[in-house]
Amino acid sequence: MNKLSFKGIVLFLLVVLAACGTSNNEEQSEGTNGTDEKQTLSVVTEAGFMPFTYLDKGELVGFDIDLLAAVMEEAGYDYKLENVGWDAMLLSVEDGKADLAIAGITVNEDRKESYDFSSPYFESTHKVVFREGENITSGQDIKDLKVGVQAGTTGAEAVEKILGKNHEYISKYDSNTLALMSLQSGDVDAVVTDNVVADEYVANNPEANVEMITDPETFESEFYGIMFPKGSEVKADIDAALQTVIENGTYTEIYQEWFGAEPDLEALTQ
Ligand code: GLN
């Protein structure tokens, strides 16, 4: 009889403990999934990539910045956006310190080994920007010239394919802006960068006396994606929101605002 009542008490206690456990869990899940409380994600960018991400009177602006805002609103996240520069941006995503990055980042096989990516949101290729008078009609014509690139970018890779890895004529800069400044100052003869960034630079700097060429034979087409740490838990939500924003016309509106043209949405689904 004594034994039975002891068992009874133990059972009773177990039931009480289990109940406590459940109510605790419920409280926790209310805390994170609660009705109005949005999770705040940490987003990093590199604001030297006009017109995708750049500073205008100290404010972060650009096509990517507007697209980010639309996607985060659709996905139901708050976010804190920081301009940390190219290398720090990649590192903080790789370490999982940042939840995502956006800055005209090309998706490629190499990067897929260290990061996850959204589906593509922009098609790009490279252009050669050079001082007027230089005889450059194809990508291969930069072979014997001093060429500036932004270190660690697909533009740098494209140039190394032509001149050779770490060739002495290749100058690697921390940002695209610095590479283009050294073209203007004569430190390099040409800069290879993403086509839309080249277009923007040439249009905004008529006094720089530069021209540019594109060469689909030499420079492949590539796609920008939002970058996440490997195994990101928010990637699926953000990817779904990006698709919605592309399908519901918001992407097209943002595209028209920045580029004054219709986007080729078909190209993004290939
Ligand atoms: N699209 C290029 C790359 O991903 C350059 C991006 C950038 O400089 N922000 O390498």
Q: Which two tokens stand for residue 1?
A: 């009889």
Query: Cα(64)–Cα(227) distance, rounded to whole angstroms?
Result: 12
Ligand 1 atom 5: residue of nearest CA: 153
Instruction: Please tell me the distance between residue 51's alpha carbon and the centre of ligand 1 in angstroms.
Output: 12
CB 154 less than 6 A from any atom of ligand 1: yes
Round to the nearest angstrom and report the end-to-end CA distance of the chain. Answer: 75
Instruction: Out of 26-30, 59-63, 111-115, 196-200, pick the least confident.
Output: 26-30
Q: Where are the domains of the chain?
A: 41-123+222-264, 126-214
Instruction: Please tell me the distance between residue 106's alpha carbon and the centre of ligand 1 in angstroms.
Output: 6
pLDDT at site 7: 58
Instruction: Please tell me the distance between residue 235's alpha carbon and the centre of ligand 1 in angstroms.
Output: 20
Q: Which atom of ligand 1 is nearest to the CA of 176?
A: 8
The stretch 31-42 carries a mean pLDDT of 73
Instruction: Please tell me the distance between residue 105's alpha carbon and the centre of ligand 1 in angstroms.
Output: 5
Residue 68's pLDDT band, with cuts at 50, 70 and 90, is very high
CB 49 less than 6 A from any atom of ligand 1: yes
Residue 135 pLDDT exceeds 50: yes
Domain 41-123+222-264 annotated CATH 3.40.50.300? no
pLDDT at site 77: 98
CB 103 less than 6 A from any atom of ligand 1: yes
Domain 126-214 annotated CATH 3.40.50.12280? no
What percent of the chain has pLDDT above 70? 86
pLDDT at site 3: 52
**Structure confidence by residue, pLDDT tens digits, 181-229:** 999 999 999 999 999 999 999 999 999 999 999 999 999 999 999 999 9
Q: Which residues contact 46 (CB under 8 A, 6 or more apart)?
A: 53, 83, 84, 85, 86, 89, 103, 175
pLDDT at site 93: 98
Instruction: Please tell me the distance between residue 199's alpha carbon and the centre of ligand 1 in angstroms.
Output: 15
The stretch 135-160 carries a mean pLDDT of 97
Q: What is the DSSP annotation of 33-99?
A: H-SS-PPEEEEEE-SEETTTEEEETTEEESHHHHHHHHHHHHHT-EEEEEE--HHHHHHHHHTTSSS
Q: Would the CATH topology of 41-123+222-264 be identical to that of 126-214? A: yes
pLDDT at site 140: 97
pLDDT at site 37: 82
**Distances from the Cα of 195 to the Cα of 39, 72, 98, 152, 200, angstroms:** 36, 27, 28, 17, 9
The alpha-carbon radius of gyration of the chain (Å, integer) is 25
Residue 6's pLDDT band, with cuts at 50, 70 and 90, is low
pTM metric for this prediction: 0.86
Amino acid at site 163: L
CB 53 less than 6 A from any atom of ligand 1: no
Query: Cα(132)–Cα(210) distance, rounded to whole angstroms?
Result: 5
Average pLDDT, the chain: 90
- The residue count of the chain comes to 270
Query: Cα(68)–Cα(74) distance, rounded to whole angstroms?
Result: 10
